[in-house]
Structure 1
Amino acid sequence: MIKLGITGGIGSGKSVVGELLSLYGVPVFIADTEAKILTNTSTEIRTELINLFGDDLYTETGLDKKKLAYYIFNNQKLLQTVNRIIHPEVGRSFRSWVDRQKGGICAIESAILFESGFDALVDKTLSVYAPEEIRIRRVAGRDRISEETIRQRMKNQISEEIKKERSDFVIYNDDHTALIPQVHTVLSSLNQ
């Protein structure tokens, strides 16, 4: 089975590309969703995060995401520590998920595919590219957050140019170039 890693910066449209791949019958593992689930269900992650931040990081309903975000988005070293706790668990979950898939291709969608090391778990990589101003407009409309907050989040990801250079495929999601033909081209190449 060919494993495809899908990445792109915040607001690039990687989820849209993942959904299009799903319509073609390619199962897609969403790393961010799995990480959110694991922060509440993995005893290992919970224990390590509590050791790092204290018991009040978790409430009766689970992880206090706002509190965690407050700690890590203002401190690169803490962000890296949290990632070293969560990413190995997500990687294990992905490998287990792959073992249950059928067909010739499956994919993982991750904004931080390269930063997390998830690119080592796949055979090919695909970067979804959109110009920065389009990405900011999309995220501001979707998440109702300020441009400053969006730019701060962008700083926590490697540049779009580096992602493009490191990827086997690039899909342009610039509001002018049709996505479906690009997805079809990638799938045709993977199926050869």
Structure 2
Amino acid sequence: MIVGLTGLIGSGKSTVAEFFAKHNVMIIDTDKIAHELTNSDYETLEKIHNAFGDGVFDGNKLNRQALRQLVFQDDKLRLKLEKILHPAIYEQVIECLQQPTSCTYKIVAVPLLFRSPKYLELVERTIFVDSNYEQLLQRLKIRSGLEKNDVDAILARQVARETQLALANDVIVNNGDLNSLALQVDKLHLQYTNMENNCK
């Protein structure tokens, strides 16, 4: 079984993924794949350079902040970047899913899962990591130095929280209590393991 993991920016998807990983669940994180591609994949970097020019590079290294600011302000440029990255990310996801694992299910973490038909076709269940607005602001301030206006602008471009809550098969609430978070992950791990065993 393949489970899709998603949530708003700053909701704690990575922390949830780490708890699942403690159960030996294979975690395929599309954000990490994107970071690796834009860090060291020559073909990807060449395509970005051809599309966006020298202004988003410091020598041979991608200037992530410059690129982020550029595409955030222009939807056409954002789509241009997505056309470069998304096929390469998806290809690596498929390769990872084909690798053997001892666990009965695998997790694919996709930030905009409910806006990604390819991934929705791929997964059999979905988890939405929910968190209250104040927690989002606090985490993003600490992690990325983002102010309220920046966070609001990013959230406005994501699938609405209420929509994701309605679409998700399962919801994990992350409001800062790691013990509670671990217990919720433990419960879902048992549920998914039993579901797979019952299908055999």
Shared fold, TM over 0.5: yes
Q: Distance in 2 between matches of 1:133 and 1:7?
A: 19
Instruction: Identify the residue that residue 160 of structure 1 maps to in structure 2.
Output: 161
Instruction: Identify the residue that residue 113 of structure 1 maps to in structure 2.
Output: 113
Q: Distance in 2 between matches of 1:56 and 1:10?
A: 27
Q: Which moved more, 1:31-40 or 1:87-96?
A: 31-40
Residues 1:185 and 2:187 are matched in the alignment: yes
The alpha carbon displacement at 1:15 in A equals 1.0
TM-score with structure 1 length normalisation? Answer: 0.89
Q: Is the 8 A contact 2:5 2:13 kept in 1?
A: yes
Backbone CA RMSD of aligned residues: 2.0
Q: Distance in 2 between matches of 1:105 and 1:135?
A: 29
Instruction: Identify the residue that residue 69 of structure 1 maps to in structure 2.
Output: 68
Partner AA of 2:172 in structure 1: I
Q: Is the 8 A contact 1:4 1:122 kept in 2?
A: yes
Gaps of 5+ in 1: none
The alpha carbon displacement at 1:12 in A equals 0.8
Give CA-to-partner distance per residue, 1:52-77, whole Å, 9 cap, x none.
Answer: 21244333342111221121111223
Q: Is the 8 A contact 2:130 2:173 kept in 1?
A: yes
Matched-pair identity in %: 25
Q: Distance in 1 between matches of 2:163 and 2:80?
A: 23
Aligned-partner SS, 1:170: strand
Q: Is the 8 A contact 1:83 1:116 kept in 2?
A: no
Partner AA of 1:84 in structure 2: K
The alpha carbon displacement at 1:42 in A equals 3.8
Aligned-partner SS, 1:178: helix
Gaps of 5+ in 2: 196-200
CA distance 1:120–1:43, shift in 2 (3 Å): farther
Q: Which moved more, 1:89-98 or 1:150-159?
A: 150-159
Q: Is the 8 A contact 1:17 1:183 kept in 2?
A: yes
Partner AA of 1:128 in structure 2: V
